Amino acid sequence: MLNDNQTVPLLETVELRKLFKLKGGSNLHAVDGINMKIYAGKTLGVVGESGCGKSTLGRTILKLLEPTSGQILFEGNDITKYSVSKMRPVRKDMQIIFQDPYSCIDPRKSVIEIISEYMFIHKLYKSRVETFNKAAGLMDMVGLARRYANSYPHELDGGRRQRIGIARALSLNPKFIVCDEPVSALDVSVQAQNLNLLMDIQDELGLAYMFVTHDLSVVKHISDDIMVMYLGKCVERATSDELFANPQHPYTKALLAAIPKPDIRMRNKEFQLIKGEVSSPVNVKPGCRFASRCDYAVPECSQRDPDFVETSPEHFVACYIVNGR
Amino acid sequence: MAHTEIQNILEIRDLKVIYKTDLEVVEAVNGLDLTIGKGKTLGLVGETGAGKTTTALSILKLLPSITGRILQGEIYFDGEDILKKSEHDMQSVRGNRISMVFQDPMTSLNPVLTVGDQIAEAVQLHNPDMSKEQINERVAATLNMVGIMPSRSGDYPHQFSGGMKQRVVIAMALSCEPELLIADEPTTALDVTIQAQVLTMIRELRDRLGTSMLMITHDLGIVAQTCDDVAVMYSGIIIEAGTAEDIFLGDKHHPYTVGLFNSIPNLDIKSDRLNPITGLMPDPTNLPKGCVFAPRCNHQMEICLEARPGVFEEGTHKIRCYLFSEAAGNSKAGVDLNAE
Amino acid sequence: MNPQKVESTTVDNFKRPSQTKEIWRRFSKSKGAVIGFVLFSIIAIMLLAADFIVPYEAAIKQDFTQQLAAPSREHFFGTDGYGRDAFARLLHGGRTSLSIALLATFSSAVLGSALGAISGYFGGKVDSFIMRSLDIFMSVPDILFTMAVVYALGANFTNLLFALTLAYFTNYVRLVRSQVLNLAEQDYVEAARAGGSGSTRIILSHIIPNAVGVIIVNTTLNVAKIILYESTLSFLGLGMPPPQPEWGLMLSEAREFMRTAPWLMFFPSAAIVITAASINLMGDGLRDALDPHLKS
């Protein structure tokens, strides 16, 4: 899917790093040297457990957090050092949808005001009426009945509130949206409705998504490519089909095996457990971050960072074992 | 209830619970029937607002006293009707014979007491005669049981990760070897690899101690992996119940159950769109007169809108739907609901 | 669920009642708020029309034949130690007292909230600077501070206002800052930044409206406090220069005659209590009216 190397990716990061300074001078390595490319109209799924830096990555790309080092290229332009005012026009093209349908919208604004907010900021339309008309059009698009226009967020359920967030993100006609766990706070049936909506919108508007989630089964449906993160590092990247058909990194395998399958025929099969818990991202030592939990770890794993090697076309893995050292 | 031999640890009959405020009446549980066999695990599945937690709180008589009210029904625990017990009697049941584990471990742990002290407190409360040494031994054994080094008993809750805290909570719940463990979404707040660890632990402990369990969850995967029996709940009503085989392998299902299964993104099949149930759960302050699922159901018939359907039974499998009832003609019963 | 583009639509179906109308509608639904509003309106009208009810002359004219007269038809609220008409003094004094109290409350609320919002929103060095300066400020007792200001600058309306503002803005800073620290964590603030909002816009349109509840409650409580604080200043001889009437001054003068002419103490006290209560009632109603959660 990424074979067409001639085209410039819509978004690219080069060795992107985000460290948080903690009291006492130590550093928290939230995002630690991420290289990724997202092409127009495609979806990159970013998967990992809590604390792996996936949400920080999404916010750093949008420059909601200042990157520590590395580069962010949007449509070929290096936006890493852009000032707040220089970012403003770029913000129209890159948007974000949040995880928490409760805190992502201002409880004191009505639905139509929330959806119109960005259009007012950028003065996209001449009059208030015109802006509200556009907002109403967006409500139709995300499947929110217009009678909710004057409602306040607390009158709506989580799924509908999430749709307000989606409509707001779409209001500036962006080319790229970071979806930060957009469905994980929702019930399965509503989750499925909203996933379908996001896919329909993508088909219609040709958007690119970076879909951040902890849920592999959700990401499979929506992504063209998937990147698996562990403690700020990317451990494996491949096309969606390839990753599920042929997972290589021990962590990816463990992640897949840990999902409880809704099938009782597999019931007596034990979960393939990985031992221990995610170690601290503070002042990390060199070496594979997963080594302490990995069943296959060899001494080399905790000495030097493994290289990110292309094991088969468009399938990259950072593991000494898989890559034969 | 004249039981010669009690086979069911828990039996709920026609339970109705409302939350009443000055403004409105929320019908949380509307005639619920539930049975858990001794030593069995029942999975109670449903979405937010289905009344799962209300059911659990009713079993412990812990409904918020100002708003919550049990209108009717019986809850037999080991043959005795809990609803007839006094608050004093209930205190010896709670934690001792029935324990509950909540979704967020932090709400069950006191942040200013060490983990060891909290387990010791639970043990002592239910075994007042134990000596200090015996209690300490029990605390160490309990921590060992859930895979935490007993040397950490002097640590405070914030020094543990989410997964470990939930293990401690489960350890506390099991420390008195209750006959029934109610686990309300015990792993929802945890990461998937940690969830797998905790679920494995729950499974092992349950099997070793022979505890009966009510597993409340929205995740059909967890149900498939841990439960013997399943009850699917919707708007305060059990719309389908049976053994795990009935639910996961049977060919007849309530349309809601079918919708629930279709909503889960399937790892094995690559399909572009999911098949969710359209619409939302009905407003619990204003439930439909007929079948609670009828407004969202694509097999809706006229009768569905008029009266609540009865139960269709086939062996252990129970379905509350007109598609299978006599009234609508049994010919419909074989209909393939998966064909959309 | 096919997304459809609708380009031209009418706005009729979401023409909402204007914000002010909506707030007024909710405000007028609360009994307490309406009572407070009516009471306050009566007081305000009486004070504004004081010149037509009883001339200012009566408030300062000393008549030693009429010292400490009990309430009568001639002097509704009696007379004070100098034989001045207490009713006239109450009306004319209320003008000064209330306008100082309202203006000082308003200016301290604006100054304090702005500093608190800036401090909480930007954090870091800005926060440290503001909060440490505030600590210095607060280490001097309020009364000493106000006295120093009034003493240095002289006792008149503007200086009193200035002194009271400085004495009262500090608690708004702390209050609003703690609110903002919490609000700035909300995703909608980040969403506003992602949409290109600048800091000023975020503070004005997302942070302040969500913190407005606590600001209003604090403000309404402060009006009464400031009226009483004025009386303390008057008592120390730092209030409005005599013979100008003022509620606080009347109270401290009446203290002398508490046993012989208790009405002199009663009427100004009642005036302060009623005014404060009416403002508190209005404040509660306003806070609820501004909160869409309670809309119905």
Q: Residues in chain B, how many?
A: 340
- The pLDDT tens digits for C193-236 are 999 888 899 998 899 888 888 888 888 888 878 887 887 787 77
* Residue A144, CA atoms < 13 Å, CB-side half-sphere: 29
Provide the pLDDT for residue C147: 85
Position B328 scores a pLDDT of: 47
Do C187 and A104 lie within an 8 Å CB cutoff?
yes
Q: Using the 8-state DSSP alphabet, how is residue C79 labeled? A: B
In the three-class reduction of DSSP (H, G, I as helix; E, B as strand; rest coil), residue B109 is classed as coil
Give, to the nearest 10 degrees, the angle between helix C157-183 and helix C208-235: 150
Question: What was the pLDDT predicted at B147?
Answer: 80
Q: Which positions of chain A have pLDDT values less than 70?
A: 1-6, 268-272, 325
The reply to whether residue A92 touches residue C209, judged by beta carbons under 8 angstroms, is: no
Is the CB of C191 less than 8 angstroms away from the CB of A96? yes
Q: How far apart are CA A213 and CA A207, in angstroms?
A: 18
In the DSSP assignment, the letter for residue B153 is: G
> Does ipTM come in above 0.90?
no
The beta-carbon neighbor of A204 closest among C3, C7, C209 is: C3
User: Nearest by CB to A140, which of C6, C16, C206?
Assistant: C6
d(CA C147, CA C7): 66
Say whether C13 and A147 touch across the interface (CB within 8 A).
yes
What residue has token string 């990401």? A219
Question: Among residues C103, C108, C177, which one has the least CA distance to residue C142?
Answer: C108
- B8, amino acid identity: N
pLDDT at residue B96, as a whole number: 84
* CA distance linking residue A136 with residue A147, whole number of Å: 10
Contacts of residue B36, defined as CB under 8 A and 6 or more positions apart, other chains included, come to B8, B9, B10, B11, B42, B180, B212, B213, B214, B229
- Across the interface, which of C11, C188, C191 has its CB nearest the CB of A132? C11
CB contact under 8 A, B263 and A277: no
Nearest CA distance, B129 vs chain A (angstrom):
37
Residue C291 has φ and ψ, to the nearest 5°, of -100, 110
| Cβ distance of A152 and C295 shorter than 8 Å | yes
Tell me the average pLDDT across C97-116: 92
Considering the domain B8-97+178-334 in this protein, what is its CATH number? Answer: 3.40.50.300
More confident of the two residues C153 and A274: C153
Q: Which residues pair with A293 in a beta bridge?
A: none
Q: Give the number of other CB atoms < 10 A from CB of residue A83.
A: 8
CA distance A294 to C140: 61
The full DSSP string for A27-90 is EEEEEEEEEEEE-TT-EEEEE--TTSSHHHHHHHHTTSS--SEEEEEETTEE-TT--HHHHHHH
User: What does the block give as tokens for A315?
Assistant: 């399938």
Cis, peptide link before residue C243, omega less than 30° from 0: yes
> How many other C-beta atoms lie within 10 A of the C-beta of residue A239?
17
Domains of chain C: 25-55+80-294 (1.10.3720.10)
CB nearest A196 (choices: C1, C187, C190)? C1
Please state the separation of Cα C107 from the chain's center in Å: 9
State the smallest CA–CA distance between residue A324 and chain B in angstroms: 26
What share of chain C has pLDDT > 90, as a percent?
23
**Partners of residue B267 in chain A, C-beta under 8 Å:** 216-217, 220, 244, 256, 259, 261
Q: What is the mean pLDDT of each run of 10 residues along chain B (340 residues)?
A: 68 92 86 92 90 92 88 91 90 88 83 90 83 89 84 87 85 85 88 86 87 92 92 93 92 91 75 77 87 90 89 90 67 42
CA distance B38 to B9: 5
* Partner A contacted by B200 (CB < 8 A): yes
CB atoms within 10 A of CB A188: 23
User: What residue spans define the domains of chain B?
Assistant: 8-97+178-334, 105-177
| C-alpha span between A42 and A177 (Å, rounded) | 11
How far, in Å, are A20, A80, A93, B30 from residue A75 at the CA level? Answer: 28, 13, 10, 57
What is the predicted pLDDT for the residue at A23? 79
Q: What is the pLDDT of residue A318?
A: 92
